[in-house]
């Protein structure tokens, strides 16, 4: 499993989703102008990245 490149791509996508989520939660916790300006864009980006990550995980499971 660790030798499969698709596994590493799916894992990187999951880490990307986590990073986007932490930026969004951090901006929400801090509040202020950054949150007002970027909160919706960041969460929409998270949804898109999460969709891609789920597709990659499904492709890995299907091919495995």
pLDDT digits (tens, 9 = 90+) for 2-53: 788 999 999 999 999 999 999 999 999 988 898 899 999 999 999 999 999 9
- What's the predicted TM-score (pTM) here? 0.86
- Collapse the DSSP code of 36 into the 3-class scheme (helix H, G, I; strand E, B; otherwise coil) and give the result: helix
- What is the count of structural domains for the chain? 1
Cα(first)–Cα(last) distance of the chain, in Å? 9
Q: Name 16's Cβ contacts closer than 8 Å, sequence gap at least 6.
A: 49, 53
Domain with 15, as residue range(s), is 5-63
**Mean pLDDT within 57-64:** 94
- Cα angle 23, 54, 2; round to 5: 95
1 confidence band (pLDDT: 50, 70, 90): confident
Give the span between the Cα atoms of 45 and 56, in whole angstroms. 17
Phi and psi, residue 4, nearest 5°? -80, 120
């Amino acid at each position: 499993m660790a030798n499969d490149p698709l596994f590493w791509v799916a894992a990187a996508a999951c880490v990307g989703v986590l990073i986007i989520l932490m930026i969004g939660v951090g901006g929400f916790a801090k509040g202020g102008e950054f949150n007002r300006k970027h909160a919706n864009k960041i969460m929409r980006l998270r949804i898109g990245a999460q969709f891609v990550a789920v597709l990659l995980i499904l492709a890995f499971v299907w091919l495995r």
